[in-house]
Structure 1
Amino acid sequence: MNRRKFFKNGSLFAIGSTFLNPFEGIAKELDFDTLKKNKKAKNIIVIVSDGMSHGTLNMADLYLNRKTGQGSNWLQLYKDNKVSRALMDMSSASSIVTDSAAASSSWGSGFRVKNGSLNIGVNGEEYLPIWQKFKKAGKMAGCVTTVPITHATPAGFCIASKSRNSQDSIAEMYLDLKFDVMMGGGNNYFASDSRKDKRDLYQEFLSKGFAVVKNKKEMFSCDNSKPILGVFYNDGLPYSKDRESSKELIEAIPTLAEMTKCAIDKMKHHPNGFVLQVEAGKVDWAAHGNDIAGLLYDQVAHDEAVKIAIDFAEKDKNTLVIITTDHGNANPGIIYGKDANDNFDSIHNYRQTNEWILNGIGQETRVSQMIERIEYANKTIIKEDDAKEILNFYSNIKLEEGLYNPRHLPFKVLADIQKKYNSVGWISMDHSADYSELAMYGPGSDLLKPFIKNTDLHYLMLKAAEIENNF
């Protein structure tokens, strides 16, 4: 295709006579002779750290720098001037503070939708998600995540649903759509003994020609000629820090980087290219729990996946890598004080997350046992009064419905106690209206402006790959 003609004719954005092209004026501003020299994006990899506030990105870089002498792969791309960089307004149709479903749908559909919905417009319109568009254009498509594969962020690239909570139905939609790689957690939505309708979706995926894998060994040895469904845990995958502390989990559960490499290896030889969404979903869950070990080590796991994608793209020369987050959450940061350096460095010694600590406590736990458990997990000895404050919450704990912390465990109390020793503070336990950090490497990164709306990213991906939006 003549690239000059493609960008000039504007047919990419011909959705309707009333649609406003979000890139209006780009053709006039760019030097087309330069643009012609750049290859189109044959492949696109979108890497999302769900719920990553700026402070989370910052702390991961500081943590790695102080531990290893080298910072994060993400910020090294900035230091080496290898990427285009922008801020992105992530507002949804219903709020300046988005949830993950509306955020992912803005990229998936090119329209802002209400919080809680997936690619369903404010008046009930059903939009065709972007991974389906790429599939129709002949590319392979997949998602890998550390939360259920049916969760909001991967679903926003793949399907349309009135509710993000309809995860049983979303699993069924994946069966019909037959994406090439789908890996993460979410056994509860595929296994017959967990689903309300008792359908065995694993068997149904097998009957449709999928390779179904349930542990790391099976993932690496599976038949690459078949589409892959990999489900490695009942709900979200274990936090990276808890996984690192368990030989059993290390052997059974792949890291995000390992899933990313497997997905790329599966799709990289396809003649029409591939699109892949990679999500560090439990960064968001950790932020909801003010869980510094969960947050920091899963952000580092995200950063390892960034390296896998960039290393591939540097050799391939035809791959656009997009690195971003869908919203802020809890906005953590290192608090000023004379012991801030040493306190923050103490996190290097953490063995377990706060989720591990609090889920191992019950009404029968004694104060001395509480102190011993935190000393084991954090190498920190807390005071008796602090231990008693935590234990007071266990006298009347009841299981309730909810996405996060349904038992109402004292995550905030524990985080406030830890702040005395690690100097990490949090502003809340929920999403925030941060402008998202966005970086792009490879063909198509020239299209990125310094500040964009979330919906612009949908059209930028189509434009970078020279896929016309006429589905």
Structure 2
Amino acid sequence: MDRRKFLRGSALVSTALILNPFDLFAQNKIKPNLSTNSAKNIIFMISDGMSSGTLAMANLYNKQLHGKNGNWINLYEENKVKRALMDTASASSIVTDSAAASSAFGGGIRVKNGVLNIGANGEHHVPIWQKFKKAGKRTGCVTTVTITHATPAGFCVNSASRNAEPGIAEKYAEIGIDVLLGGGDEFFNSAKREDKKDLYAVYKKKGYQIAKTKEELAKSQNNKSLLGIFNTGAIPYTIDHKNLSKNKSIPTLAEMTKVAIDNLKDHQNGFVLQVEAGKVDWAAHANDVAGLINDQLAFDETIKTVMDFAEKDGNTLVIITTDHGNANPGTIYGADVNKNFESILNYKYTNEHILNEIHEDFNLQEIKDWIVETNGFSLTDDEAKHMLDFYKGLDKEEGLYNFKKLPFKFFSEIQKKHNNVGWISMDHSGDYVELAMYGPGSDLLKPFVKNTDLHKLMLQATNVNV
């Protein structure tokens, strides 16, 4: 198809739903599951930090690239799922962090930002994957960030700090989470841990298979515990994963998820699996549109992997959502918005990669040539000069994940002139978020819920009482 003609004559339609949340909270008590068609398995999918604008832009991009909707939107169009809005607040704020959000799902109670399943008075709430393990199910987590990060940890452990990742890695082994796939070599490798503990050896002693490459993952045996750690830090962003040869031995989110399902699916008592696209959140923090859209599409590809299994299986509840919004990106009205948004198809790398390749000794022409090569547009002399000033220690930009304090915000403002994508911030937002469910137990979902309601719903959908 001629992608340049795709958006001509199209209209973007938005709808607003007017609700009284207090009335809804009063009415939406989850009812007991009286159906005999209970779920044997649960696959809980989280696109971390996905604002509604992220879902919309990724779908538009997919239509430009492939001429069709993505898998998430198709589930809506084909009326295959129950759909709701979800309130994501924590105990300490109307704007949650990932630890408190995951604890709402995992522990069934709202906790303060920064902690995992520990209440205000120090009480420990049993995480839901431990409940399911006690009920005889196998358990797993898959993520594109460190496997010890807040979102997977919230389903599995109690911790006074989400940052205690070395300890979280040890707790997974003690609990016996059956499948763990993601990044975070620094929390398992004796050469990188401060205490020099060799956690790979600990896991091997407990009978785990260890995979460190895509090839080793593909050769792993089903029905046997599996630890797959494929990078120091997070898994690379999807667009960099595709376009940088150094990343070819690292599996994608969909590949990891397929292996996890195959490993777990034959257990007689069923399984529960969490799947997280963690770098959607990181890209939103950096206002990085290429990183954001491509990682959201990687999540969307993983939805197909999950749904292909769930539709054939018939006994699996699939939950698709996010833990909170982040940066609220979206397309901005303008005469050239269609053409400008379409220019993102020319972006070759994340802003993270682009900005890390710029050095203080670049001259103006070199930095301008680099942006043309990687984004397809030209900087003005003033823009190029200001960009270089960042690398000389001036005007350093703040941001949660901008560990080198590179000019992420400044560069995204330049990109906005060419792609018509704007951002409200570089941090989380308190929006109500998308929630979709498929399979047995999805009939329990009401149109408006609190994040803690999903804990109860999962237990009721599976008829697990622990």
**Pick from 112, 115, 124: which aligns with 1:114?**
112
Give, as a single letter, the amino acid of the residue that structure 2 aligns with 1:100: S
Whether 1:382 and 2:379 are equivalent positions in the alignment is yes
Contact 1:22 1:456 (8 Å CA) reproduced? no
Contact 1:61 1:75 (8 Å CA) reproduced? yes
Greater Cα shift, 340-349 or 143-152: 340-349
Give, as a single letter, the amino acid of the residue that structure 2 aligns with 1:343: N
**Pick from 433, 437, 442: which aligns with 2:439?**
442
Superposed counterparts of 1:241-260, under 5 Å:
241-250=239-248, 252-260=249-257
Q: Following the alignment from structure 1 to structure 2, what is the Cα–Cα distance between the partners of residues 26 and 401? A: 46
- TM-score normalized with structure 1 length: 0.91
Whether 1:355 and 2:363 are equivalent positions in the alignment is no
Q: Following the alignment from structure 1 to structure 2, what is the Cα–Cα distance between the partners of residues 25 and 268? A: 28
Contact 1:325 1:436 (8 Å CA) reproduced? yes
> May I ask how many residue pairs the two structures share in their alignment?
442
Q: Following the alignment from structure 1 to structure 2, what is the Cα–Cα distance between the partners of residues 209 and 318? A: 28
C-alpha displacement of 1:225: 4.0
Q: What secondary structure is seen at the aligned counterpart in 1 of 2:391?
A: helix
Contact 1:353 1:377 (8 Å CA) reproduced? no
Residue equivalent to 1:9? none
Instruction: Please give the root-mean-square deviation of Cα atoms over the aligned residues, in Å.
Output: 1.9
C-alpha spacing 1:162/1:401, structure 2 compared with 1 (3 Å): farther
Give, as a single letter, the amino acid of the residue that structure 2 aligns with 1:113: V
Give, as a single letter, the amino acid of the residue that structure 1 aligns with 2:67: G
Residue equivalent to 2:458? 461
Q: What secondary structure is seen at the aligned counterpart in 1 of 2:145?
A: strand
Q: Deviations over 1:82-106 (max 9, x none)?
A: 0000011110000000000000000
Q: What secondary structure is seen at the aligned counterpart in 1 of 2:63?
A: helix
Greater Cα shift, 61-70 or 421-430: 61-70
Whether 1:179 and 2:177 are equivalent positions in the alignment is yes
Residue equivalent to 1:86? 84
**Pick from 211, 220, 224: which aligns with 1:226?**
224
Give, as a single letter, the amino acid of the residue that structure 2 aligns with 1:126: H
Residue equivalent to 1:213? 211
C-alpha spacing 1:398/1:205, structure 2 compared with 1 (3 Å): farther
Q: Following the alignment from structure 2 to structure 1, what is the Cα–Cα distance between the partners of residues 28 and 62? A: 37
Give, as a single letter, the amino acid of the residue that structure 1 aligns with 2:45: I
C-alpha displacement of 1:396: 1.6
Contact 2:143 2:276 (8 Å CA) reproduced? yes
Residue equivalent to 1:26? 31
Q: Following the alignment from structure 2 to structure 1, what is the Cα–Cα distance between the partners of residues 416 and 30? A: 49
**Pick from 251, 274, 278: which aligns with 1:281?**
278
C-alpha spacing 1:229/1:397, structure 2 compared with 1 (3 Å): farther
C-alpha displacement of 1:22: 9.3
**Pick from 300, 304, 313: which aligns with 1:303?**
300
C-alpha spacing 1:62/1:392, structure 2 compared with 1 (3 Å): same
Q: What secondary structure is seen at the aligned counterpart in 2 of 1:103?
A: helix
C-alpha spacing 1:363/1:176, structure 2 compared with 1 (3 Å): same
Q: Following the alignment from structure 2 to structure 1, what is the Cα–Cα distance between the partners of residues 364 and 45? A: 43
C-alpha spacing 1:398/1:235, structure 2 compared with 1 (3 Å): farther
Q: Following the alignment from structure 1 to structure 2, what is the Cα–Cα distance between the partners of residues 328 and 111? A: 20
C-alpha displacement of 1:224: 2.3
Contact 2:49 2:322 (8 Å CA) reproduced? yes
Q: Following the alignment from structure 1 to structure 2, what is the Cα–Cα distance between the partners of residues 62 and 400? A: 30
C-alpha displacement of 1:226: 2.3
Unaligned runs of 5+ in 1: 1-19
Q: Deviations over 1:237-266 (max 9, x none)?
A: 11000011023312x111100111000000
C-alpha spacing 1:125/1:25, structure 2 compared with 1 (3 Å): closer
C-alpha displacement of 1:53: 0.3
Whether 1:316 and 2:316 are equivalent positions in the alignment is no
Superposed counterparts of 1:144-159, under 5 Å:
144-159=142-157
C-alpha spacing 1:115/1:184, structure 2 compared with 1 (3 Å): same
Q: Following the alignment from structure 2 to structure 1, what is the Cα–Cα distance between the partners of residues 205 and 395? A: 41
Superposition misfits of 4+ residues, deviation over 4 angstroms: 20-25, 397-403
C-alpha spacing 1:303/1:211, structure 2 compared with 1 (3 Å): same
Contact 2:397 2:409 (8 Å CA) reproduced? no
Greater Cα shift, 424-433 or 400-409: 400-409
C-alpha displacement of 1:236: 0.8
Give, as a single letter, the amino acid of the residue that structure 2 aligns with 1:320: L
Q: Percent identity?
A: 59
Q: Deviations over 1:273-329 (max 9, x none)?
A: 100000000000000000001100000000011111111110000000000000000
C-alpha spacing 1:408/1:133, structure 2 compared with 1 (3 Å): same
Give, as a single letter, the amino acid of the residue that structure 1 aligns with 2:444: L
Superposed counterparts of 1:359-374, under 5 Å:
359-374=356-371
Residue equivalent to 2:19? none
Contact 1:140 1:180 (8 Å CA) reproduced? yes
Superposed counterparts of 1:30-41, under 5 Å:
35-36=35-36, 39-41=37-39
Give, as a single letter, the amino acid of the residue that structure 2 aligns with 1:370: I
Residue equivalent to 1:200? 198
Superposed counterparts of 1:159-174, under 5 Å:
159-174=157-172
Contact 1:397 1:407 (8 Å CA) reproduced? no
Give, as a single letter, the amino acid of the residue that structure 1 aligns with 2:419: N
Q: What secondary structure is seen at the aligned counterpart in 2 of 1:236?
A: coil
Contact 1:93 1:113 (8 Å CA) reproduced? yes
Q: Following the alignment from structure 1 to structure 2, what is the Cα–Cα distance between the partners of residues 399 and 234? A: 26
Q: Deviations over 1:21-43 (max 9, x none)?
A: 9964735xx9x5xx34xx21100
C-alpha spacing 1:130/1:330, structure 2 compared with 1 (3 Å): same
C-alpha displacement of 1:223: 2.4
Q: Following the alignment from structure 1 to structure 2, what is the Cα–Cα distance between the partners of residues 408 and 25? A: 45
**Pick from 52, 55, 58: which aligns with 1:57?**
55
